[in-house]
Amino acid sequence: MSFYPMISLLVCTLLQITNAVSNAEESQTYIIHMDHSQKPSSFLTHEAWHRSTLTSLMSSSSLADQKNEMLLYSYNHVMHGFSARLTASQLSKLEESPAHVATYPESFGKLLTTHSSKFLGLRRNSGLLLASSSGQDVIIGIIDTGVWPESESFGDRGMSEVPKRWKGTCENGTYFTPSLCNNKLIGARSFSKGLKAAGIKISTKNDFDSPRDWFGHGSHTSSTAAGNHVPGASHFGYAKGTARGVAPRAHVAMYKVAWATDSEKSFASDVLAGMDQAISDGVDIMSLSLGIDFLPYFNDVIAIASLSAIEQGIVVVCAAGNDGKYSTTYNGAPWITTVGAGTLDRTFTATLTLDNGLTVEGTSYFPESVYITDVPLYYGKYNATKAICNTGSLGHNEVAGKVVLCDNTTETPVNGVDFQKKEVERAGGYAGIFMADLSLLEPDDFSIPAIIVPFATGALIREYATQVHTPRVKILSFVHTNLGTKPSPEVAYFSSRGPDPITPGILKPDILAPGVDVLAAVTPNNPCMEVNNYNLVTDYELYSGSSMAAPHVAGVAALLKAVHRKWSPAAIRSAIMTTAYSTANSHTSIQDQWSGLPATPLDFGAGHINPNKAMNPGLVYDMNVQDYIDFLCTLGYNDKQMKAVIRRSQWTCRQPPTELNYPSFVAIFNKTDSPKAKNFSRVVTNVGDDTSIYRAFLEVPRGMRITVEPNSLTFTGKYQQQGFVLNVEIDSDAPKVIYGYLRWVDHHDHMVSSPVVAINN
């Protein structure tokens, strides 16, 4: 499924220190953040300084043995520093240095489209796809598990030449040569020194020591963002059509930092090295379906590296996470575009017809176009225990060659269907009918013919099975793909929700994008599932996760970058957020897939991404690095913590503190607050018509009041800026989460929408 390494960071700087180290001490990996202003002028490069510093820590007896293995990476862009293997006494000496910023030990983590482009409204001959030439000449850097270069998605038919500004390369490694790159896949590197330093070996039995993808995750995300057109792609017949990425003419560069080894670990030092290299190589967009634990920004390797990328004009897009609960968003730094996962208007089904003529449809991914005809239906009359299909409850003689109907379960409710499916398979049932209003089975769980029906439908089947002496299934057929499913989109049950655990005053996730049953390229080297004792492999597979949602937004960012070359990362994110929609195709508010109840901006952010509207947003809420520094100044960080995040020894905090110019509003109130009111100051930049007048329209629920001053904005030129103040107030007995919208509307079809959320603690 999705890929979510929980990664820690460590940051520290140092000068040359002479000390003998005992060979008996155990070494660990540390990331060392150096104050580059203290580099002695005698060193021409920072790496030379790093190596000399490490050499000075060794005893003469261990110098020859240790000097090659201590330094792992030297970082130049995400921070000035390096990662190295150090003993406790060596580290202790380093921390005495006046140039020291901070130290943290290495940590590790574990692993976390034929229709989605159409669902996003992207058409070849109109809108954003046409205006951007499908993302031509834009470079998307994917930080992930590698790439399968032979996939048709990475073919370069119709691609433009590699941009001359590109500085990257394709490395040589296990089953990977530079010749595998082309005008589509223009860069491929791997980073594993942190992994190897921890004693984890890479072999062809568990991964490839090269940019080649073993797990399939990196191939999936990169082809989702920018895969070329591939006719006839499908998941064993499901979702059949032409697969293509969101930006099919954009170039792809893969940075492999996560590994499908036996330990399934990825390391902060490797992730940092990949991001550092991507900045150096010259990517325009950086997409990460990775996350760290909930850490303050000065400890968060992705937050620190991303701020450096933003400073270089690189748009950074990250997955929000798959924890599916309140206040569990990852990658919530305000300079990152954080993406939640939504559903598509597409379902995959089987059709069941009973002997009495009743025909029903249910969810299925069973990978064979088979028809099961005229087979006995088993329910286990007069034996409730067997009917439930709990583990060990079915006998082979009773269910062999029959379709088994499983009723409610006493197993863990979330995994009940999975337990029942395994029990039917164990007992030798021919096929299974399972009841669940929401199926949590993955496509590769369908190792036997199976259909999942809602409880109401299951009750009709049960009624037939209990009233007929010899109930039978007339036809059970598979591999059906249905479009136009309502309601959609919904917020995926697993998608992480806000408020952000680090900065709850910034609305996260920012945006919702397709993240359920996304078809994209995978690796054909590993079986995706087993059916009838046969291992099945495929070139394209359905994956779900916020990992799948992030590359959709990265692809849209690439299209916008192709049209608006000079827009900042903040302007691109603002355009994406303020043009999003929050109404499903059923003309109701976007719902929560798990509960079926209306979702809130804490679930879907500004709404679901709407690429064609984002091309011409009218107004944007722009920001630069100084704005983010001012934001950090309000968090109470000390000098060392500030240095760790902004990677400089001197900075200025504007006084009085300025508010972050974000395209959404969050007011947090405590029980003792009276009145419960808050003002927000914002500045919008005109990127639409030279002359225009925008008027404020407010959508306000009962228990909430919103005012805007002024309530109209007049622009007489492109890129002119205008400010306004928004006031929000809620009743003392308002719900815990209440929200409305501010929409700036002109007469040229621009609607600049921002959610206004109040949290009543």
Candidate list 137, 144, 276, 539, residue with the active-site label: 144
Alpha-carbon Rg for the chain, nearest whole angstrom, is: 28
Length of the chain: 761
* 479, 551, 561 from 568: Cα distances, Å: 45, 19, 9
477 annotated active-site: no
The pair of three-digit structure tokens given for residue 755, joined into one six-digit string: 């959610």
Query: Which tokens go with 195?
Result: 């992994």
At residue 257, the 3 state secondary structure works out as coil
Strand partners for 278: none
Scan for tokens 């796809």, then name that residue: 129
Q: Please report, for the chain, how many H helices and E strands are present, in that order.
A: 19, 36
Phi-psi domain of 749 (left: phi exceeds 0; alpha: psi -120 through 50; beta: other): left
Q: CA 632, 288, 172, 226 torsion: positive or negative?
A: negative
The partner residues of 692 in beta bridges, in order of sequence, read: 715
Q: Report d(CA 504, CA 501) in Å as an integer.
A: 6
Backbone phi, psi, residue 602, to 5°: -70, -20
**For residue 5, what are the CA distances in angstroms to 109, 259, 286, 542, 649?**
4, 10, 17, 21, 30
Catalytic choice (50, 115, 217, 564): 217
**CA distances from residue 95 to 15, 59, 645 in whole angstroms, order as listed:** 10, 18, 18
Helices (H), 582-710: 601-604, 611-614, 625-633, 639-646
Strand partners, 696: 744
Q: Is residue 16 classed exposed, middle or buried when 0-12, 13-18 and 19+ CB atoms within 10 A define those classes?
A: middle
| 217 flagged as catalytic | yes
CA angle 144, 150, 155 (to 5 degrees): 95
Q: Are 642 and 632 in contact (CB under 8 A)?
A: yes
Q: Per the residue annotation, which of 116, 132, 547, 574 is the catalytic one? A: 547
How far apart CA 171 and CA 189 sit, in angstroms, is 6
Q: Is 568 a catalytic residue?
A: no
Whole-angstrom CA distances from 601 to 97, 326, 498, 501, 579 are 46, 12, 8, 15, 14
Q: How far apart are CA 480 and CA 503, in angstroms?
A: 44
Distance of CA 690 to the CA centre of its chain: 37
247-284: b (≥16 Cβ within 10 Å) or e: bbbbbbbbbbbbbbbeebbbbbbbbbbbbbbbbebbbb
Token look-up 């921002």 returns 754
Beta bridge partners of 359: 353
Give yes or no for a contact between 409 and 422, defined as CB atoms under 8 angstroms apart.
no
Residue 756: name the closest of 742, 736, 737 by CA: 742
Instruction: Report d(CA 266, CA 88) in Å as an integer.
Output: 23
CA distance linking residue 545 with residue 472, whole number of Å? 38
> What is the torsional sign of CA 629, 633, 638, 641?
negative
Cα–Cα distance between 244 and 667 in angstroms, integer?
40
Helix residue spans in 78-227 (DSSP H): 88-94, 116-119, 127-131, 193-197, 217-226
Which residues are part of the catalytic machinery? 144, 217, 547
